[in-house]
Chains A and B, each alone.
Chain A
Amino acid sequence: MASKESAPLVHSEWMQFAPLIILLPMMAFAVILFLGHIFNGHPFWKKNLKEGGLIALPVMAASLVLSLLLISEFLKGNSGVDQIFEQIAWVNTGVWNGGSMIEPVSLGFGIYVDHITVMLLFVASFLCLLINTFSIGYMNTDPINDNRNHRFYAEFVLFCSGMLGMVLADSFLWLFIFWEIMGLCSYLLIGFYYERPSAASAAKKAFLTTRIGDVFLMIGLVMLWDLFGSLDYAVVFATENIDAVAAESAGTLQWALGLMFIGAVGKSAQFPLHVWLPDAMEGPTPVSALIHAATMVNAGLYLVARMFPFFGAESLHGDLDDLAFVIASIGGITAVMAAAIAFVQMDLKKVLAYSTMSQLAYIFTGLGCAMYLANTLDWHHNDKDHYIVIVAFGAALFHLFNHAMAKGMLFMASGSVIHEVHHAHHHLHHHDDHHDDHGDDHHDDHDDHHDDHFDAQSMENMGGLASKMPITATAMLVGSASIMGLPLIGGFWSKEGIIANAWRVAQNDPRFLLPAMCVLIGAAMTGFYMSRMWFKTFAGKPNNEVAAHVGPTNTWIKTPLFILTFVTLSSIIFAGMGFTHWASDTEYSFLSERNLLDGIIYEMDHAFANSDIFFFILTYIAIFMGAIVGPGLAMALYGGKLAEGEEAKPWMRPIIALSAWFNDRFHFDNTALRESTLATALENRLYIDEYYDKAMINIVAGFSNKVAETDAEVIDGTIKAIESGSQSLSTIVRSMTTGSARDYILMVAVGTLALFLLIWGVA
């Protein structure tokens, strides 16, 4: 069985505070909940502490600072893997393996830092802080949320604690534990407006769908535990332990990892467990930004990325390629499916939700391909292969980074739009009300809450906002460009890598043509739906009066948008710093020997002037599809000038002008297409949700009702039958007690005779 000595223990000054990264938000959870309960509605609590928002903010800032210190300490040490302190034994128990001994087993908690941790840790803590800032601007200005925001912030910090814990945990077990805590927070936050039936049902759907994945994950973990006798990374990733398992049960290991992957599919909303994510948009927008775009949905990716050492192990060479194919294919299928559904969505947040699904699928494809390469190439000995594997894995992780930043920003920007549209609507409505009906103030109060006729999230109610919300429009533009993979911006650097690697694998293994085609087509589709979203929202004339009255947004909202725009735009710097080579391999690690400028030039050269003719052509096909075909179509359909007298910022002007030109030149009538069967099917999310609901109602509910009936009638019925049987028996016996001497003499006689016969018979 496994030994635990393989992990080096590094104690450094800052690292001993690492548990605080998790514990601080967890404590803040209790504090905010408690104070919020006591001071609810108090003006100081509301104005000065923002109902807990300003308690959460410094805590998240502290977490970020500690995380950064941890990261820098780790990178300075450059040791590959750090374990910060001895494990805390959590559960002590024993198993018997058939011998004469009981083997003690301990499930412990510790902190484990490697290159994947570092990446996710930064993404999570950075976005948690920014979205916390955004929340203060978003949640506290909405009258619907009055006096319940402390619940929001409490659950928010608990979520952050769960996410950071998951990233820092040193075993698959604790990964799972924090994973579930995130699931709980997701449930609570989606159901933040619990009184809305749609929100309550979406929360339940999210929890249950991910739970189904978790069930498989749990079985996978148990299998893995059986193979290694532990779930600690230090043990399961140790080469000698992997070798031992590989020699005997490589097939079982593939099953275990496959089951764990199903958990990841649920958490990261991939086909066929994707149905919860669009509904999850019922939660407040900061929640969508943080949990359902930037962090929690990455948990599944993180889990798969964690499995890399198995795929990369020399002794498992070629044993896990089927699983790698499954991972890549699920990614490919989801990428296209989600992008297609995004074509027809009218709800701003739903477009982004499907986009999230699609982009996560890209990362899954990237990971699957990297895993395939690691599993089939001789990358331990061949330098060229080594480089290929590192770059493939790095591309997937870098896309995770880019996507998290861009999608977090997009959601916040969309939230800012929705927020302002809502306000504009409210303002107009209020104004009208006063005009028409002076006395009906009470009615007005009710309208604060829900207005069934007006949907502030629908793009039908937007249009031409570019001039009214410049920062938001810019952020949205940069974010969209990053997701689309427009050259030089954000996601471009990683998406090209994913597409290139998918095709590289497809050259070796024709099965991979499926995901490879999917990601290539998906690039064009992404270009279309993201552009469509931007033009429908920000270009053209306002669609109605509400959109015409939208005003700029507040500072709390602007700040994170501004920062993230900057981060997304400077993606090339990150790429130059070696983010594309992100793997637990010191040779190609972060901040390698190369200086920044060399790195950037290298990345540029690699992207635009690839020496391999196949990849050179592929790059330009991808750019053509993602940056010209998709956006071009969107411009032709939805582009247009702003209203008279409205001026967009100079950097947005050419884009709007271009879209107007495209619209004039190439506009075509797409009514027939919009009313086709396919479009209807897409609007109904390909009927998948419907089938699931039907299965739930007919099969599960029907079956359980039958079982409950059986329980009441057969099992309890038997008991009742015995009961009534004994009662009627006693009635018969009782009726024999007639009180008449003649009857008794008869009974005595019969009884004596019977006894006599019995004894005679026996004798």
Chain B
Amino acid sequence: MQDWISMPLVGFPLVASIVLLAFVSNADDAMRKRLSNPIRMATLIFSLVMLVITTGLFFQYFGSLSWEGISFNSYNYINRYNWIESLGIHWTVGLDALSFPMVWLTTFLLPVTIIATWNEKNGALYFPIVLAMGGALIGVFVALDLFMFYVFWELTLIPMFFLILKWGGKDRKYASQKFFIYTFTASVIMLLGLITLYFFQDPVNPLQYSGSVTGRTFDIGEITQHALNENGKGWYLGANIQKILFVMLMLGFLVKLPAVPFHTWLPDAHVQAPTGGSMLLAGVMLKMGAYGMFRLPISLFPHALQYFQLVLMAIGMVSLVWGAVVCLGQTNLKKMVAYSSVSHMGVILIGIATMQPMGWAAALFMMFAHGIISPMLFAVCGAFKHHYHSMEIGAMRGMAKHSPWLATSMMFAWMASLGLPLLAGFVAELMMLIALWYFLAAEGWSVFWMVGPALVLAITAGYYLWSMQRTIFEGGDETQPPESLHGEPVPDITNPEKLAMIILAVFTIVFGVMPWIALDMMHDWTAEIFKGLILPILGGFNGGA
């Protein structure tokens, strides 16, 4: 496929959705209603075309990578559009084994989201916004330019903001503003870090860039290469600046991830967000945080990473355990699932903090696996909201009798999320545990640090099973539908929802049984970044002094 292929993947959905929105915004209500179906079909087809393209990329290149096939900081399908040359701003796009799974995941979730929320109200506006969301997300993952990375990073907020504001629940105004302001504040700190990164030169060996008037560049590849060389000799940019920049960038990413204690925007946003918004938010948007960590602070500042390793480990542990325990105390299904995301993101952080290739591969695979499982979780929650008008765990009993499809989907998603073997989540958890053990052994730490993650395995099972028992099971012969149904017959999920659930379930199984499809390239990437970046520092060879 052509090198420029990533550009239309970003640009096309954005442009298409703007055109559609412009078109729709002039129409009156009746017209919108009539337009809703063709627009829905159009967005579905657009997103399917994108999925076909990214799947093609997999078969053409990423599916057949070998250990030597890539090295750290090398990208495929690179293309560059010179935008503000004098400042060194280009729209550079490229894919590597870090970004490709995320891009594929986004294109995979777009059609699934559209299908799962087939009957969303005001569809003429809704579906283009979902499409725009996809474009912005892909933009983040393919950007190889700090400036464009930030542009798309913030751009993702806009469609999500409107999704929550327009299609959200009762407190949507509060939630959308909290979501926007909270994450925006964090990204402003990140922006400061990015600007510093642009202007600040390494005192020993400044980056010589001739392409711009300022002599500086936003190009991630250039900066990473330079940082790689300098880090081999000592702290790139000097120890203090590296630490400060690391913290600034990490702050932005930790809020996005989110990690405890920066997580409280997430439950609010999720509970108020419409199903489609939640699916994309949990499925891809949270992973922007983890993706950003790998792309910038880890790649650029390995010394600082080592310096802050224990802090990250602590945050990861706290997120993992805290998120899980809070889940046990929730009575709202969607809030519980939202907190379980916090807990699972803790796994990613722990994986990163182990500084083991296996831990990093576990983090990458967790990003991917959670990206498939959590949309299903939220699709189930959405179905509860949509059909039962209630997500309170205590409000109903025995729904499996009336809604077997919903109950089955719920059970499947819940089991996948609690880490049942041969479903996608297990592989990541297992690898994380092994890597964590390695970390503990290497640091000479006590085994009791395993107790936290291990307990979470049991707690996770606890809250998921408990919530199932209280909603879809029990009830005796006379089930207790939620009062919010007002005595109407209890519906099951609709056919499009069924289809979306089946797709998600099938892929959860596929990646659980054959994790190597995605894991091999992730492993190659982590092995390379580890060899290129971390080993020179930790191993003390290759001019480590």
- A interface list, Cβ under 8 A from B: 89-96, 98-100, 102, 105, 173, 176-178, 180-181, 184, 187, 191, 194-197, 199-201, 203-204, 207-208, 211-212, 214-216, 218-219, 222-223, 225-226, 255, 446, 449-450, 700-701, 703-709, 711, 715-716, 719, 723
Complex contact A715–B260 (CB within 8 A): yes
Q: Is B108 an interface residue (CB 8 A)?
A: no
- Given contacts A99-B539, A211-B457, are A195 and B476 in contact (CB under 8 A)? yes
Q: Is B49 an interface residue (CB 8 A)?
A: no
Complex contact A700–B462 (CB within 8 A): yes
Closest to A717 in B: B264
Residues of A within 8 A of B325 (CB): 703-704, 707-708
Residues of A within 8 A of B181 (CB): 723
Q: Is B466 an interface residue (CB 8 A)?
A: yes
Per a CB cutoff under 8 Å, which of A95, A195, A211, A219 touches B473? A195
Complex contact B458–A215 (CB within 8 A): yes
Complex contact A708–B473 (CB within 8 A): no
Residues of B within 8 A of A204 (CB): 465-466, 468-469
Complex contact B515–A711 (CB within 8 A): no
The CA of A711 and the CA of B401, in the complex, are separated in Å by: 35
- Given contacts A191-B473, A215-B457, A704-B329, are A95 and B356 in contact (CB under 8 A)? yes
The CA of A282 and the CA of B434, in the complex, are separated in Å by: 37
Per a CB cutoff under 8 Å, which of B430, B461, B474, B539 touches A207? B461
Provide 29 A-B residue pairs closer than 8 Å at the C-beta atoms, listed in order of the A residue.
Answer: A91-B427, A91-B430, A91-B519, A92-B516, A92-B520, A93-B357, A93-B362, A93-B519, A94-B523, A96-B438, A99-B539, A102-B531, A187-B465, A194-B398, A194-B472, A194-B474, A204-B466, A207-B465, A208-B462, A211-B458, A216-B454, A219-B447, A225-B434, A226-B437, A446-B477, A704-B328, A708-B329, A711-B326, A719-B265
Residues of B within 8 A of A218 (CB): 430, 433, 454, 457
Interface residues of B in 323-348 (CB under 8 A from A): 325-330
Q: Is B435 an interface residue (CB 8 A)?
A: yes
The CA of A191 and the CA of B441, in the complex, are separated in Å by: 41
B198-242 Cβ-contact flags toward A at 8 Å (1 or 0)? 000000000000000000000000000000000000000000000
Complex contact A91–B473 (CB within 8 A): no
Q: How far is the CB of A95 from chain B (nearest CB, A)?
A: 5
Interface residues of B in 299-330 (CB under 8 A from A): 322, 325-330
Per a CB cutoff under 8 Å, which of A177, A707, A709 touches B421? A177
The CA of A512 and the CA of B178, in the complex, are separated in Å by: 64
If over half of B's interface residues share one DSSP class (helix, strand or loop), that class is named, otherwise mixed; here it is helix
Complex contact A91–B515 (CB within 8 A): yes
Q: Is B182 an interface residue (CB 8 A)?
A: yes
Complex contact B326–A95 (CB within 8 A): no
The CA of A184 and the CA of B461, in the complex, are separated in Å by: 11
Closest to A198 in B: B474
The CA of A709 and the CA of B325, in the complex, are separated in Å by: 11
- Given contacts A96-B357, A204-B469, are A197 and B474 in contact (CB under 8 A)? yes
Complex contact A195–B435 (CB within 8 A): no
8 more A-B residue pairs beyond the given contacts A195-B476, A700-B462, with a C-beta to C-beta distance below 8 A: A96-B538, A194-B473, A195-B400, A197-B475, A204-B466, A208-B458, A704-B328, A719-B178
B230-265 Cβ-contact flags toward A at 8 Å (1 or 0)? 000000000000000000000000000000110111
Q: How far is the CB of A423 from chain B (nearest CB, A)?
A: 21
Complex contact A208–B438 (CB within 8 A): no
The CA of A99 and the CA of B530, in the complex, are separated in Å by: 12
Q: Is B455 an interface residue (CB 8 A)?
A: yes
Complex contact B476–A197 (CB within 8 A): yes
- B interface list, Cβ under 8 A from A: 178, 181-182, 260-261, 263-265, 322, 325-330, 356-358, 361-362, 398, 400-401, 415, 420-422, 426-427, 430-431, 433-435, 437-438, 441-442, 447, 450, 454-455, 457-458, 461-462, 465-466, 468-469, 472-477, 479, 515-516, 519-520, 523, 526-527, 530-531, 534-535, 538-539, 541
Complex contact A93–B431 (CB within 8 A): yes
- Given contacts A195-B398, A219-B450, are A92 and B421 in contact (CB under 8 A)? no
Residues of A within 8 A of B516 (CB): 89-92
Residues of B within 8 A of A703 (CB): 325
- Given contacts A91-B516, A184-B420, A201-B469, are A219 and B322 in contact (CB under 8 A)? no
Residues of B within 8 A of A201 (CB): 469, 474
Residues of A within 8 A of B520 (CB): 92
Q: How far is the CB of A201 from chain B (nearest CB, A)?
A: 7
Complex contact A222–B479 (CB within 8 A): no
The CA of A449 and the CA of B475, in the complex, are separated in Å by: 14
The CA of A572 and the CA of B81, in the complex, are separated in Å by: 84
Q: How far is the CB of A699 from chain B (nearest CB, A)?
A: 11
Residues of A within 8 A of B401 (CB): 195
Residues of A within 8 A of B538 (CB): 96
- Given contacts A95-B438, A711-B264, are A211 and B422 in contact (CB under 8 A)? no
The CA of A716 and the CA of B422, in the complex, are separated in Å by: 36
**What is the count of residue pairs linking A and B with beta-carbon distances less than 8 angstroms?**
176
Complex contact B535–A700 (CB within 8 A): no
Residues of A within 8 A of B415 (CB): 184
Residues of B within 8 A of A207 (CB): 461, 465
Closest to B362 in A: A93
Q: 7 closest A-B pairs (Cβ-Cβ)?
A: A708-B329, A704-B328, A200-B473, A177-B421, A716-B264, A704-B329, A94-B357
Q: How far is the CB of A55 from chain B (nearest CB, A)?
A: 20
Residues of B within 8 A of A176 (CB): 421
The CA of A711 and the CA of B356, in the complex, are separated in Å by: 31
Complex contact A95–B433 (CB within 8 A): no
Q: How far is the CB of A692 from chain B (nearest CB, A)?
A: 13
Closest to B181 in A: A723
With a 10 A CB-CB cut-off, give which of A215, A223, A703 has the most chain B CB atoms. A215
Q: How far is the CB of B355 from chain A (nearest CB, A)?
A: 8
Q: How far is the CB of A87 from chain B (nearest CB, A)?
A: 13
Residues of B within 8 A of A95 (CB): 356-358, 434-435, 438
Residues of B within 8 A of A102 (CB): 357, 527, 530-531, 535
Residues of A within 8 A of B442 (CB): 98
Q: How far is the CB of B179 from chain A (nearest CB, A)?
A: 12
Residues of A within 8 A of B539 (CB): 99-100
Residues of A within 8 A of B466 (CB): 204
The CA of A723 and the CA of B466, in the complex, are separated in Å by: 35
Residues of A within 8 A of B458 (CB): 208, 211-212, 215
With a 10 A CB-CB cut-off, give which of B357, B415, B539 has the most chain A CB atoms. B357
- Given contacts A181-B422, A194-B472, A704-B325, are A719 and B182 in contact (CB under 8 A)? yes
Q: How far is the CB of A531 from chain B (nearest CB, A)?
A: 37
Residues of A within 8 A of B329 (CB): 701, 704-709
With a 10 A CB-CB cut-off, give which of B261, B326, B457, B530 has the most chain A CB atoms. B326
Complex contact B461–A208 (CB within 8 A): yes
With a 10 A CB-CB cut-off, give which of A92, A96, A173, A700 has the most chain B CB atoms. A96
Complex contact B328–A701 (CB within 8 A): yes
The CA of A100 and the CA of B535, in the complex, are separated in Å by: 7
Q: How far is the CB of B321 from chain A (nearest CB, A)?
A: 9
The CA of A716 and the CA of B328, in the complex, are separated in Å by: 18
Closest to B513 in A: A90
Complex contact A194–B400 (CB within 8 A): yes
The CA of A253 and the CA of B539, in the complex, are separated in Å by: 29
Q: How far is the CB of B101 from chain A (nearest CB, A)?
A: 15
Closest to A177 in B: B421
Residues of A within 8 A of B260 (CB): 715
Q: How far is the CB of A726 from chain B (nearest CB, A)?
A: 10
Q: How far is the CB of A28 from chain B (nearest CB, A)?
A: 16
Complex contact A208–B479 (CB within 8 A): no
Residues of A within 8 A of B261 (CB): 715
Per a CB cutoff under 8 Å, which of A93, A178, A215 touches B455? A215
Closest to B461 in A: A211
The CA of A549 and the CA of B475, in the complex, are separated in Å by: 33
Q: How far is the CB of B258 from chain A (nearest CB, A)?
A: 11
The CA of A94 and the CA of B356, in the complex, are separated in Å by: 8
Closest to B522 in A: A93
The CA of A158 and the CA of B541, in the complex, are separated in Å by: 52
